[in-house]
Amino acid sequence: MVRLLGRSGARSTRRPSGPRPHHAPDRAPGVNKHRARPAPGGPPTGPRGADGTRRGQASGLRAALSGRSVAGQVFVLQVVIVLLLVVAAVVALVLQARRDSTNEARNRSAAVAEAFANAPGTAQALRSSDPTAILQPRAEAARLATKVDFIVVMNTDGIRYTHPKPDRIGKRFVGTLAPALAGHVVTEEIDGTIGPLVQAVVPVRADDGTIVGLVSAGITTANVGGAANRQMPLVLSAAAAGLALATAGTALVSRRLLRQTHGLGPHEMTRMYEHHDAVLHAVREGVLIVGVEGTLLLANDEAHRLLDLPADAEGRHVRDLGLPPDTADLLASGGVATDEVHLVKDRLLAINQRTTDSQGGPPGTVATLRDSTELRALSGRAEAARERLNMLYDAGVAIGTSLDVTRTAEELAELAVPRFADYATVDLFDTVLSGGQPDAARRLRRTAMSGIRKDAPLYPVGEQILLVDSSPQARSFGTGQAVVEPRLSEAPGWRAQDLERSAQVVEYGIHSLIAVPLRAGSLVLGVATFWRSEKPEPFDPEEVALAEELVARAAVSIDNARRYTREHNMAVTLQRSLLPRTLPEQNALEIAYRYLPAQAGVGGDWFDVLPLSGARVALVVGDVVGHGLHAAATMGRLRTAVHNFSALDLPPEELLALLDELVSRIDQDETEEGDASAPVTGATCLYAVYDPVSRLCTIARAGHPPPALIHPDGSVEFPDVPAGPPLGVGGLPFETVDLELAEGSRLVLYTDGLVEDREHDIDVGLGILRGALERAGQSPEDTCRVVLDSRLPAKPSDDIALLVARTRALAADRIAEWRVPADPVAVSEVRASVSRRLTQWGLEDLTFTTELILSELVTNAIRYGADPIQVRVLYDRTLICEVFDSSSTSPHLRYAAMTDEGGRGLFLVAQLTERWGTRYTPEGKVIWAEQNLPSRS
């Protein structure tokens, strides 16, 4: 019984089916002797009637009540114990109640007597001529109020003055008086004149302290025990309920015990477990019982021997017993196994495992172990074959994860070490690394190397290697097959490659190699070499076949990466040729930029900085939807269009409208051509024009992310620029916003690759961008660096274009403006004013040409323009002359004939200036001309 309960039923097994032995008289009634017994703790198995469950419960109860089985004996014993406990509890409660009632009666009697003795007037009444007349009414009133049976007032001789029964007045008090006369309180139980009672006697003291009488109060014994008697029905009811509940609980426990023991008697159980132990520990097959949590519950002697288990193995988790991981995993998994072979130290064990709860038994598994060491050789070959298959499978998964030639070569080397070789090297032609075709030269570059140690004297990564014809690698190129050198110390052809290094390799312990050419179709991309040092045997034919298979799979991936590298380089070259290589010189903005192409392919992000007339500068950032050559080509077309449109000095909204029409035409052309490989183009763009004279920045955008503005104090905001539709949508106008920027402000333009990716939406990206801009330094270069460091992913999936421009303002002393009346006489005044201002600027060398230019431009404005007319001269990187009038008529350059009296003014202006042109404003037009400043030695 102790063994059964101590192991939670682990050592309990099913009893054999069939008839029980005739010498087993302690069978529980109602158990079918021809039915197989259930697993411990499980429900009975075998056939039963329609009401079999009810009959099984009744027969189990009769077996428990019979007392012949262990469950019945336990039931009777527990019922007797519970009954004794209930009776003892009832007796104790009754005695305690009576004792508490008596103590309460003593305390109440003493309290009432003392209260009455010390009441005002009691001592005076005792000295009066008729104490009874005074005290009897008071005593009766107090007796009724305090619920005692009597209050007796007497003199010092014990003669009563008061009593509940008036006929007892004047008679001697029954009780002990001496202690009270001595000044003490006396409490006692006596048989008084009204029956057995509990009474207290206290002295009555006069004002001078002398005892002038006594007061006694008491309660009869009948009233003392009344409370206990009244509680008796409740106590007995509670005891009966407790007895019923305890009996029911005992019956449930006994029923469960009956199910666990199957109605067996003590002798039969003892005999069964003795046989069980004898069989379990004598059989020459290991037996393990593992609980549902993976805890080892039982292991017989043979299991201890086969698995070399520690003495305290039972009760520990199977993973903590020092077993091989695969064996421990099987035992802890609770799964089913049939003749599964496991290598445990120097033994090859066949393991069978089944669950114990399939027939309603306790959860867990039973595993049997058989020593199958003679199958070691077969198992070793099967394990080697399985490892090779695993390597081939892993090669298909692990090699070629990226379209990078170098990384693919590294993956081949890493896969082979240490599972196949101790060292692995991959050598490729330089042209293959750059995406080109392999050449006929024997010069290779060490692209990847992996080994069990880092100090092997092989060529390092990056080293150029010129193969000699006798080397195994060169011979593999000629045959197209793997070449094996089983003993490098005896291979003169290999040693001829590098005599000094070869000696170091042999001395290091590397003794054999396999050289396999990396072939992709008819192309030989390089060679992979596998080296062995730890295992003393050279590579065998099966390993050579495995090496060829591994390299063949890797060669396909390397060739794919080579082709992708070639296409990617072409696309990147095209893309970079379409982007600005240098920024134009200008003074209005201090500019820094970053352009990062996508990892997976080129995209259509672009930017540009375009100097405009009047010292203004245009900033543009755009993004073409998609990746690849098509997106890069479209980006180049849009950038060229922006260059052309900006030369017309168009406002930002008009320039975006023209770009929108261009993208729509591109879409239409591609749709008409029916080219399925070229998706419909979509693009976004932001165009901003900054004027350093007014410090106004005019911005318009077409579906592009909003710009960020960093104020000189470091605060960051995203100006509310109307979004506008993306380019190519058509039908909707574009709107602009004018921002007055303080000098030193930084305008940040970017593409959506900076603020959007697969993990974050644009709101999160804008929040990250704001935080980076707030902690960026003052210079545009610092701003670019901080922004990219805080947001740039390891491998960006989209292009990123970032443009940061810090504003400058043209100083007021470098701006000259005049209002010109519509009178030809005013031309001379303009010339004089300009001459004085050029002298102040130190540009006297430009006085003549500037006067001539302004004379022609102002004269044309007076003759053909409209009032008002204004002249403005700006001293920037060039000298800029501007003439404004309110007319929208544009002048044209033409060649005048010999007989023409006019038409030569603009021709002279074009000859004397570096650039000139016309730009239109809402109020009219501006004709401008720029002159280079004279060089200063």
pLDDT at 425: 95
Q: Which two tokens stand for residue 627?
A: 């990746």
Which pair of structure tokens corresponds to residue 847? Answer: 């006085």
pTM over 0.75: no
User: Bigger pLDDT: 633 or 287?
Assistant: 287
Q: State the average pLDDT over residues 763-777.
A: 89
Classified as helix, coil or strand, 276 is helix
The arrangement of strands across the sheet holding 746-750 comes to 589-596, 800-807, 746-750, 708-710, 716-717
Handedness of CA 258, 264, 265, 271 (dihedral sign): negative
Mean pLDDT calculated for residue range 817-823: 89
Q: Provide the pLDDT confidence category of residue 556 given band limits of 50, 70 and 90.
A: very high
Lowest mean pLDDT among 158-172, 429-443, 457-471, 494-508: 429-443
The predicted pLDDT at position 588 comes to: 92
Mean pLDDT taken over the chain? 81
Q: Which of the listed ranges 189-203, 302-316, 892-906 does the model predict with the highest average pLDDT? A: 302-316
Least confidently predicted of 237-251, 391-405, 482-496: 237-251
Q: According to the model, what pLDDT value does residue 893 have?
A: 60
Q: Which helix (DSSP H) or strand (DSSP E) does residue 598 occupy? A: none
pLDDT at 225: 54
> Is the confidence at residue 46, as pLDDT, over 50?
no
Identify whether the C-beta of residue 427 lies closer than 8 Å to the C-beta of residue 554.
Answer: no
- Please tell me which residue, 284 or 422, carries the higher pLDDT value: 422
**457: cis peptide before it, omega within 30°?**
no
- Counting runs of H as helices and runs of E as strands, what totals does the chain give? 25, 30
User: In sequence order, what DSSP letters do the residues of 171-235 get, joined into one string?
Assistant: SBP-S--HHHHTT--EEEEEEETTEEEEEEEEEEE-TTS-EEEEEEEEEEHHHHTHHHHHHHHHH
- Residue predicted with more confidence, 914 or 254: 914
Instruction: Give the per-residue pLDDT at 229.
Output: 63
Walk across the sheet containing 878-885 and list its strands: 815-820, 869-875, 878-885, 924-932, 915-921
pLDDT of 779: 92
pLDDT band at 822; cut points 50, 70, 90 = confident
pLDDT at 260: 67
Instruction: Give the end-to-end CA distance of the chain in Å, rounded to a whole number.
Output: 116
What is the rounded CA–CA span in Å between residue 379 and residue 265?
A: 50
Decide if pLDDT at 936 tops 70: no
Asked whether the predicted pLDDT for residue 117 surpasses 90, the reply is: no
pLDDT confidence of residue 335: 85
For 538-553, what is each residue's pLDDT tens digit? 888 888 988 999 999 8
* Token reading at 901: 């009296």
Q: Picking from 424-433, 742-751, 821-830, which range would have the lowest pLDDT averaged per residue? A: 821-830
Whether residue 42 has pLDDT greater than 80: no
Which of 133-147, 382-396, 517-531 has the least mean pLDDT?
A: 382-396
| Cβ atoms 820, 871 nearer than 8 A | yes
Q: Percentage of residues in the chain with pLDDT exceeding 90? A: 26
Residue 161: pLDDT over 50: yes
In the structure encoding, which two tokens stand for residue 19, read together? 């008839």
Residue 186 confidence (pLDDT) above 70? yes
pLDDT (0 to 100) of residue 28: 36
Strands annotated E in 315-376: 337-344, 347-355, 364-371
Q: What is the mean pLDDT of residues 599-615?
A: 83
- Rounded Cα distance between 621 and 610, Å, is 11
Residue 39 clears pLDDT 50, i.e. is over it: no
Query: Using one digit for the tens of pLDDT, what is the confidence trace for 237-282?
Result: 877 777 787 777 777 777 776 666 666 667 777 777 676 777 777 7
3-state secondary structure of 117: helix
Q: Grade residue 3 by pLDDT with cuts at 50, 70 and 90.
A: very low
Q: Each residue of 334-366: pLDDT tens digit?
A: 888 888 888 888 777 888 988 887 666 678 889
The C-alpha atoms of residue 932 and residue 843 are separated, in whole angstroms, by 11
Query: Could you tell me where the beta strands, DSSP code E, fall in 455-588?
Result: 464-466, 483-485, 512-520, 523-532
Task: Name the DSSP class of 727.
Answer: B
Reported confidence tier of residue 162, pLDDT bands at 50, 70, 90: very high
Section 473-486 average pLDDT? 90
The C-alpha atoms of residue 667 and residue 683 are separated, in whole angstroms, by: 11
Percent of the chain with pLDDT strictly greater than 70: 82
Q: Which of 14-23, 682-691, 730-739 has the highest mean pLDDT?
A: 682-691
Q: Which has the minimum average pLDDT: 341-345, 376-380, 650-654, 806-810?
A: 376-380
* Angle value at C-alpha 750, between 747 and 754, nearest 5 degrees: 130
